Structure 1
Amino acid sequence: MKILRTVLLLFVTLSANMAVAQNAGFKPVFDSVKSVWADSVFQSLSLEERIGQLFMVAAYSNKDAAHERELSNLVKKYHIGGLIFFQGGPERQVNMYNRLQAISKTPLWVGMDGEWGLSMRLDSTITYPRQMTLGAIQNDSLIYAMGAEIARNFKRVGAHINFAPVVDINNNPANPVIGSRSFGENKLWVTRKSIAYMQGMQNNGVMANAKHFPGHGDTDTDSHLGLPVIKHDKERLTDLELYPYSKLFDKGLSSVMVAHLSVKAFDSIPNHPSTLSPEIITDLLKGEMGFRGLIFTDAMNMKGLADYMAPGEVDVKALEAGNDVLLFPMDVPKAIDKIKEAITKGDYTEEQLNTSVMKILRAKEWVGLNTEKPISTVNLNNDLNTPEAQHLKKKLCEAAITLVKNKDNIIPLKNLENRKITVLTIGGNGTVFKNRLAKYADFKAIEAASAPTLADGKSIREELKGRNTVIVNIEGTNNRPGKNFGLSAAAISLIEAIALEQEVILVHQGSPYALEKLNHPERFAAILISYQDDAYLSRAAAEALMGAIKITGKLPVSIGTYFPAQTGVQLSEAIRLHYSTPMEFGLKPNAFDLIDSMAIEGIRQRAYPGAQILVAKGGQVVYNKTFGFHTYDDDVPVRTTDIYDLASITKIVASTLSLMKLDDEGKFDLDAPLHTYFPEIEKTNPYYDMFPRRMLAHVAGMPAWIPFYTSTIKDGEPKWNIYSKTKSDLYSRQVAYKMFINKNYSDSLLTKIIMAPLRANNDYKYSDLGYYFMREIVKRQSGLRIDSFASANFYAPLGLTTMGYLPLERFPKDRILPTEYDTYFRKELVHGYVHDPGAAMQGGVGGHAGVFSNAEDLAVVMQMLLNEGVYGGKRYLKASTIEEYTKCQYCEDENDVNRRGAGFDKPVMPPGPGPTCKCVSFDSFGHTGFTGTIIWADPTEDIIYVFLSNRVYPTAENNKLAKLNIRTNIQAEIYRVLAGSIADTAFVAP
């Protein structure tokens, strides 16, 4: 019998060698090593030490000292070859690795299940998307980059083998164990992604491991709990399940993991686990397929195998079948004894042992264990969570977003001014999704349980009445097919009922398989899938809805008969600002660190209590930070959603935009004399023939300003015939807290301006006064007050959620930055009311001041102008109009030395003291504000810069912001980084 077994073994070996010869190209990456170290180590090993190399034992860095003592015993006494780490933390694992490595004669190798990165097993590390999410991505180079980054992380914690990628073709929605771990149901698609992932790791020194051979995708039993049975014939399995393996072998795959499956097409023994099958491992994998790499068992403690045979015996059978490495053995001492018995009997030969051990040692040499050194824990957390890695995850998530339905091209959302949007979040709070969506549009938010009751549904539907766009955001899902992946029947019933009554956009942050339960997908206006509950995916989904990113994902699996695999509506153009990072432009993540230092130094010097700073390039926000606090005395930090008094920036974001719109409509002309709009002006008055172009360029001879409020105060108190402490029909315009002005008084301001003498010449002199006229022109030509006109034509359709006049009517006071303690006029801290006294006397709605905003909304306005009048898929202004207003108006007039556009400020040319650094192009334009603000856009470099502060707190006499040149220095640094310009100012970080 023993002779017969030896003959059969020789025959199998010869057959395998012949197959290998026929498939000489199927060489694992470690086949290239010279093996000097491996040969030397092999010669030093006893039989027991060689047997020990076959074991990789489960290790947990979150367990107690007794667990580590047990591992130490296995290392010292039984000479185990390696560890497979499970739960724990990076530093704890590295320390345990170092201690165990130090007592091991032969260096230990470490494997981990890191399908979506170290976070599959370790806390405090980046969680990359699961493979189904990655399966939606069209750009395989992103998956390669992920593989490379995961390899870097593995090496940083001393790990050498990643048990990934999963190459199972998941074409069974009921599969309880693979599901989201598979790239999809198409063999070509799965193969492409798997190769990219594999090469990313192996090209960076970490072994890949394709699993679960011969294919776990079409199963409905979890092999952790039982033995799945594969009933397909050999032709089907060869064509489909085995296809990715053969292609990965050709690309140098280093290892394979064999699943615990019963595969009748390859092994006729009923309920015989593939792990123990020579027909599957030796004949098929090594023989027919020619695989020469390492063969790992799946965990030996899984029920699909453990229930089949006793510990020790099952290990021997696995080795006899052709496996090289035993993962998670249940009893190492017993297994070693049984292996030695099998060698003595000839059931498992020493030649087989030596072949496996040499492969293991050569693989160890390839991963660098021949020069193994202790792993440092210094800076470990930062090394595993780099900004570059986070940016890569961001790119992966954005590329995965999939739009499977888009009726009437509703996505990206347009015409925001006509939409009453409600976000209904089911199964979660939707915080991340809603926070990102709020950067683009205003909406009402509702939350519902994952299984809403009938009463819940009735209440929600009542609340949705009058809302014309409902975004249903599904969160809190899971990967359990038996529970429909966390999407309840009650939730489906509710959203389909709502879709009969309103326009519904479904955002599903979970497995696409869950949507198979939809009864009426035709009811939805759009269906967007982000695959997982993940903050990066939530933000990407929100930006995709608004057109801030391209949508390129395609379904990796079919959703019933509604949406077959590879369905995906492609949107190839981004139409709104996208929130990105400097790395998007090939810059280092800390490229703008000097700006941080400048901003902080300004606070330290008490130039301002806090600030918002935003930088955008090419339609992407690459820097968006806040610094400091609302005041010097409180502890309320500045947030990106906080709102600043823009002061004179109002001149361009309200008055000038409105005039440009009226110009497009033929209702305003820069060169029509003022009497065209004010027929009441007498011909003898110098304002009669004054041109708006000259007024907007500040060369009309007008005085800089008139302190209107002084004539309304007597003996330090307001004149109470002009003001009132209470609001009424007559005193309807609020100036400050408990201070209201006669609604007719604003008309007298124009009269005062017209009666004021002009300067002797028309040379450049900055003046607010022209904007009192512009405010009135907008009203007379449109029929709307300037705040209503600007909102209707720009703020609302642009989705600007903070920009506008009269912020206290729209926001709580704690979102608004205070400005100055007004000791002369209003006798209070100006907080939520416009800082400028003249605008305050107009009820807070001036042509020159009064608009409040955050930095993000200002960036949208400037981006629209850089886009030649188009934003969010809508044209707001003609390109020719923007060009006319943003050009220098009187640069070529020898008698008018001026840099100004029509309403817009321009850089000083030739370079000299002005609002900007010397590095901006002369095509650039923007404006500054008295309260400590600036916005600037450069068409040449496609750069937007926004700086907002309340430098006038607590007093406008504080002019350190200008003296320290902070705004200009920051702009110079922006151009140094983004445009390669040489900064014209010097700054040394303290």
Structure 2
Amino acid sequence: MRLFSLKKLFLTTIVCCGIQFSSYAQQQPEFLEYTNSKWVDSVMQKLSPNERIAQLIMVAAYSNRDSKHKEEILKLIKEQKIGGLIFFQGTAKKQVQLMNDYQLVSEVPLLGAIDAEWGLGMRLDNTISFPYQMALGAIQDDTLLYKMGEEVARQIKRTGLHMNFAPVVDVNNNPNNPVINYRSFGEDKEKVAEKGIAYMKGMQDQKILTSAKHFPGHGDTDTDSHKALPQINHPFSRLDSLEMYPFKKLIDAGIGGVMVAHLNIPALDSSGVPSTLSKKIISGILKEKLGFKGLIVTDAMNMKGVTTGNEPGVVDKKAIIAGNDLLEFTEDVPKAIAEVRKAINQGVISQKDIDEKCRKVLAVKQWVGLHKYEALKTANIDKELNNSYAKYIQQKLVEKSLTVLKNEQEMIPLRRLDTLKIASISIGAEKKTTFQENLGWYTKIDHFQLKNEASASQISAVKEKLKNYNVVIAGLHDHSKYPRNSIQYSNAVLKFIAEIAQNEHTIFSIFKNPYTLNKIDNIEEASVVIEAYQDSELSQQKAAQLIFGGFKADGKLPVSVGDKFKAGDGVETSEKIRFSYTAPEDAGMNADFLQNGIDSLMQQAMDLKAIPGGVVLIAKDEKIVFQKAYGLHKYSDTVKTQASDLFDLASVTKISSALPALMKLHDEGKFSLEDGIDDYLPYFKNSNKADVPFRQIFAHQARFKPWIAFWQNTLRKNGSYKWNTFKKDSSARFPIKISNDMWLHRNYKKKIYKAIKKSPLEEKAEYKYSGLAFYLLPQIVENLSNEDYRTYLNENFYSKLGATTLGYRPTEEFDISRIVPTESDFNFRHEPIHGSVHDEGAIMMDGVSANAGLFSNANDLAKLMQMYLNMGEYGGERYIEETTFKEWTKTQFPENNNRRAIAFDKPNLKYTGPGNNTAKDASAASFGHTGFTGTMVWMDPAKELLFVFLSNRVLPTRDNQRLYSLNTRTQIQQVLYDSIDN
């Protein structure tokens, strides 16, 4: 499915705005136009009086039960001619199979319903759950709820059903409510109505009948009507102006159904009968006072709130007499039909009344399309239900629900990462949480956990460790199935939370029901409080992104929390400053097209042994929309590639190390492209490279030789190494490790410089790629900055960006298991290369060169590249001036048929077909670089598009050229552009 077009989005917005509380005449449910249709008339003529009663009965069906249950349902359909089924637990595929079977034996098509308040995931395994309604109550853009309604409707129809017993429009103004609570949009009656209408409209516009519940309002109860009959003692004026307000508005907006709750409400009916059985409430108020002409449905007729003191069958008769049209979860169908027949014979209710109800049910069936019923196929159903568009809507809803209740001194989004030492602690967890894993995508963070019943010694140990950090991010978790208003932490853990809440620079993310905040001392004193409403994986992911500025928060608290926070509280965070991790649709890309295209090309490359594996990362509009690892570290092992693995970047180092340093130094007036090497390294004066400007050098038309095999200069004629180059053991004179039994002389760098200085020049000043000058750049950076080269890069770029894996000599910081191996070197080192730079010249520079040597995972490399794409800015901080970036990324000598920018590669001046160096749709403004080990980064400002491709194509040997012949990297790059257009 595709993201809505702008036209459709505009129309959708109008629809949603139109349903807000402007004054208009009451809209009648659409299905009512069919009550006297030809199809309904024809069915009515075929139904006996008892069969017309049976059409008002809906029994419970399950798709996770045995054949005995199925036979029971089939028997009810064949013998009792029931009108419908409400499905509960099971799977989508089985539900479709069963519904097909049930429809096959039913003379009148069955109306299928489900409780899908937050989507099919409420009932069916392996289907999508959207946020609970309390989280939705925090969202300020009701258009999203409309879109959710559309998608929920599509999914319900795909599983063979036609009616959703939703939305819940109870105003939850009782924090102790055990049954509504997180299922309510909140305590503001107008917002409850607005959101209920948006959700309802989305579903009904897709021809799914909805049923507002639980009339006349179940929000202010402290009893669960599944277990007993709640009593509400408010006066009529309060009930009329508050509890019934959303129902009135949804009725005015044209809702098709209303579900009546099991409640004892003396102000509406002093007899004490449940509202489901009250003629005063249903016929007197709902139908006559409120003018509702749609389908009136009972809450489940097996709940204790209505069954206590009432026999099955008899209770159903009472519900029909009270004015209900459809009985949900009838327990004794034959008796219910017999009791209603008895009531007709006794004159308590007329056959005409029954016929009118029956016509309503049949009209609904025609409105949803059952008059043209066709069996559904089960093929691909799980994939269709878990579609990319639904996942996108799910993500946006969670993102927009997150509510920042406090943000002292605008602490979030966190800035200046290089100044922060951050710890995260997940409370209520025993292992690293999804929240913590996602925090780690942004910068280095140390993680701790405390379980619900942590001992005093465990708490004390954590407290002591937290003293070493200047930012603490605490996640409060509740891994129960539903976010109820209870708290399970021990008193000791609660005391610990209260203590750290008073510490400056503590950030809390609450993955619990907001009412629980009232049970945590001092939580309102914390520097930052984020309410996430539920403990889902998605909520944890999005909360982490919010803290680091992946998106802006604008959620508002839908309920009051004691004296700590009030309904409507919520601080808007200032701006988006870093990556968010989101669905492709969020950036206008087609997720299915993207994934299918990339997967197939990567699989082709692996099948043909072009690469053993790799990582592909795609970002658009500063949103990472695709990050996936493929294959293995090596063809011969079982170590799977992970997205967090570090790769040898090879020549991508050229644009990722000294280049940003020189741009910064250029901004400071310390470096000029018009100067030559000799201006910064006097050693090169009087050489053939003196006075050659860096503009020409970086554009690769300075006549420099492409490369020098420095290691070959260490060999004698007999093939042994010269005595002053290598030793088998390290020492003060031979400290540079080449391999386990090769240690290079400490001054060998001078010989490399000498070889570069003396190398001859090419005859013509034309484009010829050369890496020679890049060996010299670290020294130039050190001379200009008066700092160690690696320190300068870390302090000015990598640490600030939070690019913690981006750097030289990775084994100094990371376990070798995280580093992907490269070539088995049979020429120089005579061993497999793993953890050290592949390039021979770079390893002879002690692994630190601007020619090669950097390692990184895709995520951290993308941060630097996104800074480039942003023309020098990322994380709310400017690194390099925009004018500098624009100059350095433009083609320098096109008149000389040279496509190159300043060190950056550019698309060929003319597209050369399938073997082109970039995708055909890459814009002329795009820039990037490739690496010998099989890497590629490319940025396109015209589309705000970033592409990172990491692989180790040189394994086992550099002679493997298949990645080039397949042109895998640029073919994948083209998929990105195509996914925008599809």
TM range (shorter): over 0.9
Q: Aligned equivalents of 2:979 and 2:221: distance in 1?
A: 54
- Distance change (3 Å), C-alpha of 1:889 and 1:72: closer
Q: Aligned equivalents of 2:769 and 2:461: distance in 1?
A: 57
Percent of aligned positions that are identical: 44
Q: Aligned equivalents of 1:904 and 1:144: distance in 2?
A: 46
| Conserved 8 A contact 2:192-2:246 | yes
Indicate the residue corresponding to 2:593 in structure 1: 591
Q: Aligned equivalents of 1:237 and 1:403: distance in 2?
A: 32
Q: Aligned equivalents of 1:973 and 1:364: distance in 2?
A: 44
Q: Aligned equivalents of 2:306 and 2:897: distance in 1?
A: 88
1:369 alignment partner AA = L
Q: Aligned equivalents of 2:677 and 2:209: distance in 1?
A: 78
1:286 alignment partner AA = K
Q: Which moved more, 1:670-679 or 1:300-309?
A: 670-679
Indicate the residue corresponding to 1:791 in structure 2: 794
Alignment of 1:543-622 (within 5 A): 543-571=545-573, 573-592=575-594, 593-622=596-625
TM-score normalized by the length of structure 1: 0.92
State the 1:146 CA deviation: 1.3
Indicate the residue corresponding to 2:784 in structure 1: 781
Indicate the residue corresponding to 2:774 in structure 1: 771
Indicate the residue corresponding to 1:899 in structure 2: 899
Indicate the residue corresponding to 2:409 in structure 1: 408
Deviation string, structure 1 residues 423-442 (Cα, Å, up to 9, x no partner): 21122345322333222222
In the alignment, is residue 218 of structure 1 matched against residue 220 of structure 2?
A: yes
Q: Aligned equivalents of 2:672 and 2:664: distance in 1?
A: 11
1:452 alignment partner AA = A
Given the alignment, which residue of 95, 114, 117 partners 2:116? 114
Indicate the residue corresponding to 2:677 in structure 1: 674
Q: Aligned equivalents of 1:631 and 1:950: distance in 2?
A: 9
Alignment of 1:491-510 (within 5 A): 491-501=493-503, 503-510=505-512
Deviation string, structure 1 residues 264-320 (Cα, Å, up to 9, x no partner): 221122x43111211111111111111111111111221111113232332222222
| Conserved 8 A contact 2:182-2:483 | no
SS in 2 for 1:471: strand
Indicate the residue corresponding to 1:4 in structure 2: none
Indicate the residue corresponding to 2:456 in structure 1: 454
Q: Aligned equivalents of 1:430 and 1:134: distance in 2?
A: 28
Q: Aligned equivalents of 1:36 and 1:958: distance in 2?
A: 73
| Conserved 8 A contact 2:485-2:513 | no
Indicate the residue corresponding to 1:822 in structure 2: 825
| Conserved 8 A contact 1:702-1:759 | yes
Q: Aligned equivalents of 1:475 and 1:522: distance in 2?
A: 18
Q: Aligned equivalents of 2:969 and 2:355: distance in 1?
A: 71
Deviation string, structure 1 residues 419-473 (Cα, Å, up to 9, x no partner): 1111211223453223332222221111110232222210111222211111111
Q: Which moved more, 1:179-188 or 1:700-709?
A: 700-709
State the 1:483 CA deviation: 6.5
Given the alignment, which residue of 251, 263, 268 partners 1:266? 268
Indicate the residue corresponding to 1:952 in structure 2: 954
| Conserved 8 A contact 1:110-1:161 | yes
| Conserved 8 A contact 1:209-1:256 | yes
Indicate the residue corresponding to 1:312 in structure 2: 313
Indicate the residue corresponding to 1:381 in structure 2: 382
Q: Aligned equivalents of 1:40 and 1:250: distance in 2?
A: 31
TM-score normalized by the length of structure 2: 0.93
| Conserved 8 A contact 1:731-1:740 | yes
Between the two proteins, the alignment pairs up a number of residues equal to: 953
Q: Which moved more, 1:440-449 or 1:603-612?
A: 603-612
Q: Aligned equivalents of 1:726 and 1:484: distance in 2?
A: 64
Alignment of 1:42-61 (within 5 A): 42-61=44-63
1:736 alignment partner AA = S
Q: Aligned equivalents of 1:627 and 1:203: distance in 2?
A: 41
- Distance change (3 Å), C-alpha of 1:294 and 1:519: same
Q: Aligned equivalents of 2:89 and 2:970: distance in 1?
A: 51
Q: Aligned equivalents of 1:836 and 1:398: distance in 2?
A: 44
State the 1:697 CA deviation: 2.3
SS in 2 for 1:230: coil
Q: Aligned equivalents of 1:590 and 1:364: distance in 2?
A: 34
- Distance change (3 Å), C-alpha of 1:268 and 1:726: farther
Indicate the residue corresponding to 2:536 in structure 1: 534
2:352 alignment partner AA = E
Deviation string, structure 1 residues 766-785 (Cα, Å, up to 9, x no partner): 22211122110112222333
Deviation beyond 6 Å, 4+ runs, structure 1 = 479-483
1:249 alignment partner AA = I
1:537 alignment partner AA = S
SS in 2 for 1:330: coil
| Conserved 8 A contact 1:213-1:257 | yes
C-alpha RMSD over aligned residues: 2.3
State the 1:24 CA deviation: 8.0
Deviation string, structure 1 residues 538-569 (Cα, Å, up to 9, x no partner): 22112111211232221111222222112222
State the 1:199 CA deviation: 1.0
State the 1:652 CA deviation: 0.8
State the 1:666 CA deviation: 2.8
Indicate the residue corresponding to 1:152 in structure 2: 154
Indicate the residue corresponding to 1:468 in structure 2: 470
State the 1:830 CA deviation: 0.8
Q: Aligned equivalents of 1:628 and 1:480: distance in 2?
A: 37
State the 1:235 CA deviation: 1.2
| Conserved 8 A contact 1:552-1:572 | no
Q: Aligned equivalents of 2:322 and 2:620: distance in 1?
A: 60
1:510 alignment partner AA = K
SS in 1 for 2:276: helix
State the 1:573 CA deviation: 3.4
SS in 2 for 1:208: strand
- Distance change (3 Å), C-alpha of 1:511 and 1:726: farther
State the 1:331 CA deviation: 2.2
Deviation string, structure 1 residues 204-251 (Cα, Å, up to 9, x no partner): 111100000000001111111111111111111111111111111112
Deviation string, structure 1 residues 724-764 (Cα, Å, up to 9, x no partner): 44444443332233433233322332233223344455443
- Distance change (3 Å), C-alpha of 1:465 and 1:344: same
| Conserved 8 A contact 2:118-2:133 | yes
- Distance change (3 Å), C-alpha of 1:187 and 1:430: farther
State the 1:189 CA deviation: 0.8
Alignment of 1:314-463 (within 5 A): 314-428=315-429, 429-463=431-465
Indicate the residue corresponding to 1:233 in structure 2: 235
| Conserved 8 A contact 2:432-2:448 | no
2:776 alignment partner AA = F
SS in 1 for 2:500: helix
Indicate the residue corresponding to 1:280 in structure 2: 281
Q: Note the residue ranges of structure 1 that are not aligned, 5 or more in a row.
A: 1-22, 981-990
State the 1:678 CA deviation: 2.4
- Distance change (3 Å), C-alpha of 1:717 and 1:448: farther
Q: Aligned equivalents of 1:283 and 1:944: distance in 2?
A: 63
- Distance change (3 Å), C-alpha of 1:693 and 1:26: closer
Alignment of 1:496-895 (within 5 A): 496-501=498-503, 503-571=505-573, 573-592=575-594, 593-681=596-684, 683-714=685-716, 715-719=718-722, 721-760=724-763, 762-892=765-895
1:497 alignment partner AA = E
- Distance change (3 Å), C-alpha of 1:569 and 1:736: farther
Q: Aligned equivalents of 1:908 and 1:73: distance in 2?
A: 72
- Distance change (3 Å), C-alpha of 1:489 and 1:237: farther
- Distance change (3 Å), C-alpha of 1:102 and 1:906: closer
Alignment of 1:56-205 (within 5 A): 56-205=58-207
State the 1:957 CA deviation: 1.8
Q: Aligned equivalents of 1:289 and 1:490: distance in 2?
A: 52
In the alignment, is residue 296 of structure 1 matched against residue 297 of structure 2?
A: yes
State the 1:156 CA deviation: 1.6
Deviation string, structure 1 residues 900-953 (Cα, Å, up to 9, x no partner): 222222223244576324443332221111112221112223222222221111
Q: Aligned equivalents of 1:368 and 1:263: distance in 2?
A: 38
Q: Which moved more, 1:848-857 or 1:744-753?
A: 744-753
| Conserved 8 A contact 1:716-1:824 | no
State the 1:500 CA deviation: 3.8
SS in 2 for 1:408: helix
Q: Aligned equivalents of 2:368 and 2:602: distance in 1?
A: 46
